[in-house]
Structure 1
Amino acid sequence: MIVKSRRIYMEDGLKDGFLVVEDGTIKEFLPRTDNEEIIDYGDMRIIPGIFDTHNHGTCGFGLSGEVTQEEIKGYLKGCASQGITNVFPTAERSAIAAVARAAKEHYEGASILGIHSEGPWLNRTGEKGVRTGWPEVSLETAKQMVSHGQGLLKLVAMAPEIPGIAPLAEYFLNKGVVLAMAHSDSNYEEAKRAYEHGFSVSTHTGNVMTGLHHRDVGGLGAALLNDKVDCEVICDGMHISLEMLEIFFRIKSTERFMMISDCTPFSGAPEGVYRGFEEGMTIHVSKDGFVLTDTGRLMGSSQPVLYGIGNLVEKLHMPMEKVWPMFSLNPSRKYGFERNKGSLKALKDADFVVINDEYRTIATYSMGKKVYDAKEGPVFNPDFLREWRQKEV
């Protein structure tokens, strides 16, 4: 297969020419060819495939409860429709085993490279100071999570200040699981100590953590000031304002940021009013695609990483050459996949996305296979709309 574009973002720069794919990998880049059997994308951008390491659901498909294989198949196809070629599904504990099984089936869509568990040990504060508590701190539960993951549990996020959490952190680290600080009420010194003792990722940096204050820079300051910490970041412009994103990228090298979506099943949902996941809750999906409760609180993210890419390039005027490593190369490097993934380079896997100037997916290729084409039409789960939508707008 030979793919042509005037804007191909290779590891060594922006190229105009032909990407030659063979047996699922990039064989070479050619500035010209006499071969007439090419797929010509004209002036559309070809970017490395998005690697989303924090994604709870999308397009009406989720990863909670007793999730079915059909649900996971729909989820992976939905991910591909948003330019994701590789993903760490963020699965609830009850869904870890099912996601691990799905990874072995190689369903059409994004590829499962690992599993992410956000929690269950979280110290959720920040939303009007309401503490929701956490489940029993149990080493047996941690062992069960690793067992159900069948070697695929790669990332566990938790609050390091929770009493009794240290033995669990040590256990996960000994099993090769990366630890992320998440939903934490820790001050700067507490967060600093956690990073000194094995935590190495900041979950959705800036959200549900203690913020910057001139007498204690909190968990956010600890993440930004530590050059060894890799920071997840949501770039939808609502979870973090664009001005704060600019501050992030001035304080810390973009090499230490990983763009994530934190998407939920509401990602891609049409505008309207929906029933919430908690009894009595109502969800509003805005015309801009944001998901809000009746109180105006954000319910995860509804916009994919691709939307955030558009924000950084078009609104913060960052060159795509500086942005694409944050959604592809940096997470690949962090989690040990850089040899084969993370950039467009000869001998690496042919994971790439074709996008238009509105930052919409035209086609997604995973290991040289087209796993999504915009011509297919909507991939949103119709059952989700029938069950959850209360009113169209």
Structure 2
Amino acid sequence: MIIKSKRIYMEDGLKDGFLAIEEGKIKEFLTRTSEDDVIDYGNMRIIPGIFDTHNHGTCGYGLMDNGTKETVAGYLKGCASQGVTGVFPTAGLSMISAVADAAAENIKGAQILGIHSEGPWLNRTGEKGIKTGWPEVSMETARQMVCDGKGLLKLVALAPEIPGIDPVIEYFLSEGITLALAHSDSNYEDAKRAYKKGFSVSTHTGNVMTGMHHRDVGGLGAALLNEDVMSEVICDGMHICPEMLKIFFRIKKPEHFMMISDCTPFSGAPRGSYKGFEREMTIHVSEGGFVLTDTGRLMGSSQPVLYGVSVLTEKLGMPMESVWPMFSLNPCRMYGFDKNKGSIRAGKDADFIVITDHYQAAATFVSGRKVYDMEEGPVFNPDFLKEWGREEMPHE
């Protein structure tokens, strides 16, 4: 297969030409070819596939609980429709086993490269000071998570200040699992100690952590000042305002960031009000893309990483050459996939997306296989609106 575009963002620069793909790999880049059978994408940009390491759901498919293999398949197709070629599904405890089983199958969609568990031991706090507590710390639960993951549990996010959590931390590290500091009320010194203890990722940096103050720069300062920490970042312009993103990238080089979506099943849902995850909870999807509870607390995002790419390039004026490593090469390096993935280069897997000028995925390829084409039409779960109910919100 030969793919043509005038704008191909390869590891060594922007190029106009042809990608020759053979047995799922990029065989070579060509400036010309005599082959007649060429897929020509004209002036549409071809960029490396997105590796989203923090994604709870999308397009009406969720991974929190009660899901099936079909749920995971729909989720992976939804991810592919948003330009995701590799993913760490962020699974609820009861879904870890199902996600691991799905990873062994050749599902047409994004490729499962590992599993992420955000919690269950989190110290929820935030701008409104809301705390929800945490479940009892249990080694049995930690061991069950690893067992259910069948070798694929790669990332676990915890609040390091929770009493009694140290044996769990030591256990996960002994299993080779990356630990992320998440949903924490720790101050700067507390967070710094956690990173020395073995935490190496800051979860959705800036969100649900103590902010920067001139007398204590908090969990946020600890993440930004430590170059040994890889910082997840949501770039939708809502979770972190564009001006703060500028500050992030001035304090810490972009190679230390990984763009994530933190999407939920409400990603791609029509604007409106829906039943929440808990009894008597209502979730609102606003026109601007916020997913909010009745209390005004953010509940993940409805915008994919590709939308965040548009914020960085169009609103902040960052060149695509500086942006694409944050959603592809950086996470691949962090989790050990960069030998075969993370950039468009001869010898690597043919994982890439073709995008429109409006930052929509026109086509998504995983190991040379087209797993999504926008001409297929919507991939949103048709049962989602029936199950969750919806009432139109008044126009703002």
TM-score range, shorter chain: over 0.9
1:332-351 paired onto structure 2 within 5 Å: 332-351=332-351
Cα shift readout 1:300-335 (whole Å, capped 9, x = no counterpart): 111000000000000000000000000000000000
Q: 2:326 maps to what in 1?
A: 326
Q: 1:13 maps to what in 2?
A: 13
Is 1:306–2:318 an aligned residue pair?
no
Is 1:234–2:234 an aligned residue pair?
yes
Cα shift readout 1:92-139 (whole Å, capped 9, x = no counterpart): 111000000000012110000000000000010125223211111111
What is the distance in 2 between the residues matched to 1:241 and 1:110?
Answer: 29
What is the distance in 2 between the residues matched to 1:285 and 1:120?
Answer: 25
Offset of residue 392 of structure 1: 3.1
Offset of residue 82 of structure 1: 0.2
What is the distance in 1 between the residues matched to 2:171 and 2:32?
Answer: 53
CA RMSD of aligned residues (A): 0.9
- SS of the counterpart of 1:237? coil
What is the distance in 1 between the residues matched to 2:157 and 2:47?
Answer: 29
1:198-347 paired onto structure 2 within 5 Å: 198-347=198-347
What is the distance in 1 between the residues matched to 2:223 and 2:195?
Answer: 8
Offset of residue 32 of structure 1: 1.0
Offset of residue 153 of structure 1: 0.2
The one-letter amino acid of 1:366's match is V
Q: 1:180 maps to what in 2?
A: 180
- Structure 2 unaligned segments of length 5 or more: list them: none
- SS of the counterpart of 1:258? strand
Percent of counterpart pairs with the same letter?
74
The one-letter amino acid of 1:147's match is C
Q: 2:383 maps to what in 1?
A: 383
Is 1:30–2:25 an aligned residue pair?
no
Which is further off, 313-322 or 265-274?
265-274
What is the distance in 2 between the residues matched to 1:142 and 1:286?
Answer: 36
- SS of the counterpart of 1:180? strand
Cα shift readout 1:326-385 (whole Å, capped 9, x = no counterpart): 000000000000000000000000000000010001000000000000000000001001
Could you tell me whether the CA contact under 8 Å between 1:119 and 1:156 is conserved in 2? yes
Q: 1:106 maps to what in 2?
A: 106
Is 1:126–2:123 an aligned residue pair?
no
Could you tell me whether the CA contact under 8 Å between 1:270 and 1:289 is conserved in 2? no
Could you tell me whether the CA contact under 8 Å between 1:142 and 1:168 is conserved in 2? yes
Offset of residue 293 of structure 1: 2.4
- SS of the counterpart of 2:104? helix
What is the distance in 1 between the residues matched to 2:215 and 2:84?
Answer: 40
What is the distance in 2 between the residues matched to 1:65 and 1:210?
Answer: 29
1:349-364 paired onto structure 2 within 5 Å: 349-364=349-364
- SS of the counterpart of 1:190? helix
The one-letter amino acid of 2:33's match is T
TM, length-normalised to structure 1: 0.99
- SS of the counterpart of 1:17? strand
Cα shift readout 1:220-253 (whole Å, capped 9, x = no counterpart): 0000000100000000111000000000000001
- Structure 1 unaligned segments of length 5 or more: list them: none
Offset of residue 65 of structure 1: 1.4
TM, length-normalised to structure 2: 0.98
What is the distance in 2 between the residues matched to 1:138 and 1:283?
Answer: 31
- SS of the counterpart of 1:313? helix
Q: 2:60 maps to what in 1?
A: 60
The one-letter amino acid of 1:376's match is E
What is the distance in 2 between the residues matched to 1:46 and 1:380?
Answer: 24
Could you tell me whether the CA contact under 8 Å between 1:264 and 1:300 is conserved in 2? yes
CA gap of 1:214–1:127, structure 2 versus 1, over 3 A, is closer
What is the distance in 2 between the residues matched to 1:127 and 1:312?
Answer: 24
Offset of residue 284 of structure 1: 1.9
